[in-house]
Amino acid sequence: MRLDLISIFPEYFEALNLSLIGRAQQDGLLEIRRTNLRDYTHDRHRTVDSPPAGGGAGMVMKPEPWAQALESVLSDDGAAARPILVVPTPSGELFTQQRAAELAAAEHLVFAPGRFEGIDERLTDWAQEHFQVHRLSIGDYVLNGGEAAVIVMVEAITRLIPGVIGNAESLTEESHSADGLLEYPVYTKPAEWRGRRIPEVLLSGNHAKIEAWRREQSQQRTRRRRPDLWAKHVVARERAAE
């Protein structure tokens, strides 16, 4: 997979050179290219923002530097298909595990994180002619810019690419996987730590019992912590039983 990350703070993405994503790049599973948006400005101050039309607080990102940066990405994308452009924004659709799985199948993803009050709306309209545009939010809160959201999304997407995670089995059991339940609690040695014991069933060696216990814990947790997910899970289970 190829990723293009365009930002006025390309250094922000250095965290992606660490750990599993860093290794995936070294192994050739992933190519991450960072572009400084200001390289596509042509004035002395390398201006990327301007006051909002119609007045109001803050500044809006000008569309032209973005269009030129995106055109440069397109011009060296050999593939014929329109690449996917992800625009992180708190006013987008919610980024979920399912969305991560869909995006993990793409060959080329381009991310355009805005700063200030966002990017002039005409940019995404224009971009639709050349890209499949996804405006995505990572949650119902507002960040100072989209860069942190890009890191979140890149991490969630790339760990689903075959070979990025050593133990692919760990993907099927975790929270937000196919059954829509949260993950069960996990423990390690010693069996007793500061007066607290591991649940006895985990020491029993009885795999069927352990599996049943874990499933029950997942259900309890989901019911208590995320009644919204639990309601969806119950509906899906009832449909499957029909």
Report the C-alpha gap between 158 and 150 in whole angstroms: 12
Find the binder of ligand ADE among 51, 58, 139, 185 (CB under 6 A). Answer: 139
- Give the contacts of 147 (CB within 8 A, at least 6 positions apart): 7, 9, 12, 13, 113
Q: Looking at beta carbons only, is 67 or 143 nearer to ligand ADE?
A: 143
Q: Looking at beta carbons only, is 139 or 199 nearer to ligand ADE?
A: 139
Find the binder of ligand ADE among 90, 179, 213, 234 (CB under 6 A). Answer: 90
Selection from 91, 106, 108, 86 nearest residue 153 by Cα: 86
Q: Could you tell me which stretch among 17-25, 49-57, 136-144, 193-201 binds ligand ADE (CB under 6 A)? A: 136-144
The percent of the chain in helix, strand and coil, each rounded to the nearest 5, is 40, 15, 40
The side-by-side arrangement of strands in the sheet containing 84-94 is 31-36, 2-7, 108-111, 84-94, 132-137
By the rule CB under 6 A, 138 interacts with ligand ADE: yes
3-state secondary structure of 186: coil
By the rule CB under 6 A, 141 interacts with ligand ADE: yes
Find the binder of ligand ADE among 88, 103, 108, 181 (CB under 6 A). Answer: 88
Shortest distance, position 106 Cβ to ligand ADE, whole Å: 19
Shortest distance, position 184 Cβ to ligand ADE, whole Å: 29
Report whether 61 contacts 120 (CB < 8 A).
yes
DSSP string over 14-42:
GGGGSHHHHHHHHTTS-EEEEEEGGGG--
Query: Which letter, b or e, does each residue of 59-77 get, where b requires 16 or more Cβ atoms within 10 Å of its Cβ?
Result: ebbbbebbbebbeebbeeb
Report the C-alpha gap between 147 and 72 in whole angstroms: 20
Interface of this chain with ligand ADE, residues 149 to 208, rule: CB under 6 A: 149
By the rule CB under 6 A, 142 interacts with ligand ADE: yes
Find the binder of ligand ADE among 15, 67, 84, 143 (CB under 6 A). Answer: 143
Find the binder of ligand ADE among 7, 35, 41, 89 (CB under 6 A). Answer: 89
Shortest distance, position 155 Cβ to ligand ADE, whole Å: 14
Q: Could you tell me which stretch among 70-78, 141-149, 224-232, 233-241 binds ligand ADE (CB under 6 A)? A: 141-149
Shortest distance, position 156 Cβ to ligand ADE, whole Å: 13
Q: Looking at beta carbons only, is 13 or 230 nearer to ligand ADE?
A: 13
Report the C-alpha gap between 216 and 229 in whole angstroms: 15
Residue 215: phi and psi, rounded to 5, are -65, -45
Give me the residues that bind ligand ADE (CB under 6 A), please: 88-90, 137-139, 141-143, 146, 149
